[in-house]
Structure 1
Amino acid sequence: MKITHVECWSVLVPAVEPTFAWRKGLQGGFPGGERGVLRIGTDEGACGVAFAGRPGSADQLRELVDRVLRDELTGQDPLNREWLWHRMWEVDRIEELPLPLFGIVDTALWDLAARLYGVPLWQLLGGFRTELPAYASTTTFGSVQEFLDVADQCVALGYHAVKVHAWGDAKADARLALALREHLGPDIDLMYDGSAGFDLPSALYVGDALSDAGFLWYEEPMLEFSVSAYAELAKRVRVPLLVAETSDGAHMNSADFIRAGAATFGVRASAGLRGGVTGSLRTAHVADAFGVRAEVHGMDLPNQHLCMALSNTTYYESLVTSNPVRRESIIGPDGLLHAPTGPGVGLPPGLDYPAELQPYIATHH
C-alpha cells in the first residue's frame, strides 16, 4: 500500500456565540472562518483525515501541502508511521512548523490505520478504559461571585472537578482560589491554569494560595521556555505542577521538565500540541516511567481517543464558556466521557462535514 494523494481543503466554521474571555492580554473567543482538513489517500482506497482547528490553519496547511508534504509523502507506506514521524522532524528542521501543524500528518496516518482495521483509534492504540471523568475547564468570568456560581452549576451538571482560567492578576487569582475551596468544600478537585501569564515571583505568590487551598494541580503559570524557572517553582510550592503544554519538542522536552523535578503532577499530552498521536504516546510513556501523569489537553476528537488509551491520564478536559453553563453534549449526566465507537478518529473522510460536527469544529479549537 502506497500513499497516492495528499490534499487539503477548507471547512467554514462559525464563531462561538456568545463570545467569551481569557485572562487580560489574551484574545478571547473562537473566531469563525476557514479551518484546514488534511486528507491522505492510498492506492488501495484507505484514507485518513486530520483537522487543523486554529485560525489561519487552512491557508497554512494548504501552502505546506502544496510546497512540501505532497512530495514528501507520495509513494510512502502509510503504515510506516514511525518513519514518517521521523521525516516530519526533518521537515521541521528547515520549516520550523507551527506547533499545531507538526503532528497533523501523524494524526491522519493513525486515522487511516484505524479505519483500515475497522476499529476506533483508542482500540488500535491499545485501549485502557471505556470511560473517564470530565472536569469543567472554565474560561474567564467577571468576578469571584460569578466564578462561584459557575462552579456550582458545573458540579450540579455532573462534572467531577473544576479548573479555572482566571484574570492573570496574582493577588486576585489567589483570592479566587481560596474562595473556591471554601465555597465548594474539600471533596471537589480544583485546578488552576495560569495561561503563561506570570513571572516567577508572581507564580510563587499564586502557588502558595493554591497550596493552601489544596488544588490538585497548578498548570502553566509561566512561559514554558525556562525549565529551571519551573524547577525553582516546584521546589518552593506544595501544589503539584502540570507543565509542558505548549513547549516545542514533544516527549524530549517533556523529559527535561520531568528530569528537572519541574513536573510534580505531570506533563501535558495532546495530538494538537505534542507532535500528534505518536508524540503524545511517547510523552505518556516517558511520564509513566517517572511515575507522573500525562494529562490530555483539550477537547479535539483525537484527544478523546487518547483519554481512553493512556493509563496515566486522570480527567477529560471539557471547556465551559458560558454562564448559564452548558454541559458539553458528549458528557453524560454522570460527568463521564465515554469511548468513541466508530472507526478511526471520527471525522468524515470526505468533504461532506455534517451539521452536527460544526459545533465541535468551532468550539473545540
Structure 2
Amino acid sequence: MKIVDVRTEPMDEPAVTLPWRDGLPRRPTSEPQGFLVIETDDGVVGRAHTTKLVSVQALVEAQFSDELVGRDPLARELLWQRIWEINRLEYMPTTVVGLVDIALWDIAGQSAGLPVHRLMGGYRDRIPAYASTVTFGSVEEYLDVADQCLALGYTAIKLHAWGDARRDAELSQALRDHVGPTVDLMFDGSAGWDLADAVYVGRALAEARYLWYEEPMKEYSIGSYRRLGAAVDVPLLVAEVAEGAHWTVADFISQTNATYVRTSAGFKGGLTGALRVAHLADSFQLRAEVHGGGLPNEHLCMAIPNTTYYESLVVSNPVRADPRLDSNADLVAPDSPGLGWRLPG
C-alpha cells in the first residue's frame, strides 16, 4: 500500500466563538475548517480535522505532498519523525504538527477493520465525562448550570471562569458548597494569571478540595510552575499547550511536583505523540488527562489507562445534552473502523 494523494477538503460549517475569560479575543478564527486527506492506492482514505485549512493547504503544496506521496502509510513512526523534521525548517502551529499522524492512524484502523483505539491498546470501552463550562455571567448562573449538568448524569464539573483571581476563588468555593463533597471539581485558569494570583486561587481550590488546577499561568516558564507547586496543596495539571510533545512534558515532570499532565492528539503531535506523553506519565505514576473532545481524543481516552475523564464542553444555558454521551454521561468507545469520521451526506 502506498500514498497516492495528499489534499485538503473544506467543511461548510461556520467558525464558532465561545465565551472564555476576560481579555481573550471574542472573534472566530479567520480560516475555514476542514480535513487533511491522505489517500492510498488501495482506495483507503484517512482524514484529520483542522481549523487551519488555509495554512494546511499551503503545507500540502510546499511540503506534505512531496514528503508523503509514494510512502507506506503504515510507516507511522517514520512519517511522524519526518513531520518533526519539516517543522524544524518550516514552523507549523502545534495543532497542525499531528495532522498527518492522525490521518495515518485513520488509514491503519480502516485497513485492519478495527477502531483506532483497539490498535492503540484497547484499555476500556467507556469512560465518564466531565462537564467543562465556558464562561458564564455570574455565580448564580454557574450554580444553575452545575445543577443542570448533574441532572444530566455528569459526576464532575470543570470551571472556566472570568480571569479575576478574587471572583474566581469565590466562585470555586461557592460551587463546592453548592454541589457537596462527592462531586469532582476542577479549575482551568486559561493562562490568565501571574504567580501571585495563581497562588491565591490555588489556595482557595485546595481548601475546596478540587481534583486539579489547570493552566493558571502561561506555560513558557517551568520554574514558575515549580514555585506554584511549592506554594499550594491543590494537585497541578500541567503542560497542556506547551510545545514539544513528550520532550517538554518530560521537563515539566522532572522539574515540578505536578500530579497530572495533559495529553491530546491536537497539542502533542497527533496520536503518536499523545501516546508518548501518556506512557511517559505512566512511568512516573502520573495521570495523563486527555485535553478536549473530538474523535481522535475519544479513541485516545479508550486506549490509555492513566486518564480519568473525557472532556465534554458545556457551551450554553440551558445546558444541552452532549449527543456523544449515554444517559449516564459516559462516553462509549467508537466502534467504526479507523477513526469513524461523521461526514456529511
Q: Report TM bin, short chain.
A: over 0.9
Deviation for aligned residue 1:263: 2.0
Within 5 Å, give how 1:106-145 maps onto structure 2.
106-145=101-140
- Residue 75 of structure 1, CA deviation: 1.3
Q: How many residues align?
A: 345
Counterpart residue identity of residue 282, structure 2: D
**Residue equivalent to 1:196:** 191
Secondary structure of residue in 2 paired with 1:202: helix
1:354 to partner: Cα distance: 1.5
CA distances 1:213-244 after superposition (whole Å, capped 9, x unpaired): 00000000000111111011111111001111
C-alpha distance after superposition, 1:64-88 (max 9, x if no partner): 1011100011111111111111101
- Identify the match of residue 282 of structure 2 among 288, 303, 314: 288
Q: Residue 339 of structure 2: SS of its match in structure 1?
A: coil
Separation in 1, partners of 2:136, 2:25: 14
Q: CA deviation at 1:30?
A: 5.6
Give 1:75's match in structure 2, choosing from 52, 70, 74: 70
Tell me the equivalent position of 1:41: 39
| 1:107-256 equivalence runs, <5 A | 107-256=102-251
Cα distance in 2, alignment partners of residues 240 and 234 from structure 1: 8
**Alpha carbons 2:31, 2:53 under 8 Å: kept:** no
Counterpart of 1:105 in structure 2 is 100
Using structure 1 for the length normalisation, give the TM-score. Answer: 0.92
Q: Distance in 2 between matches of 1:49 and 1:58?
A: 13
In structure 2, do the counterparts of structure 1 residues 295 and 107 end up closer, same or farther at CA, with 3 Å as the change threshold? same
Q: Residues 32 and 11 of structure 1: is their aligned pair in 2 closer, same or farther, counting only changes over 3 Å?
A: farther
Please say if residues 15 and 29 of structure 2, whose CA atoms lie closer than 8 Å, have aligned partners that are also in contact: yes
Q: Structure 1's 93 and 240: CA in aligned 2 closer, same or farther, altered over 3 A?
A: same
* Helix, strand or coil at the partner of 2:22: coil
Q: Deviations over 1:143-184 (max 9, x none)?
A: 111111111110111011000000000000000011011111
* 1:5 aligned partner: 5
Secondary structure class of the residue paired with 2:102:
helix
Partner Cα distance (1:29, 1:134) in 2 = 28
Question: 1:115: how far off?
Answer: 0.4
How much identity, in percent, do the aligned residues show? 55
* Structure 1 gaps, min length 5: 356-365
- Contact 1:36 1:59 survives alignment (8 Å): no
Shift of residue 331, structure 1, vs aligned partner: 1.0
Q: Which amino acid aligns with 1:26?
A: L
In the TM superposition, what whole-angstrom CA distance separates every residue of 1:197-217 from its partner, at most 9, and x where no partner exists?
A: 000001000000000000000
In the TM superposition, residue 36 of structure 1 has moved relative to its aligned partner by: 2.7
Structure 2, unaligned stretches of length 5 or more?
Answer: none
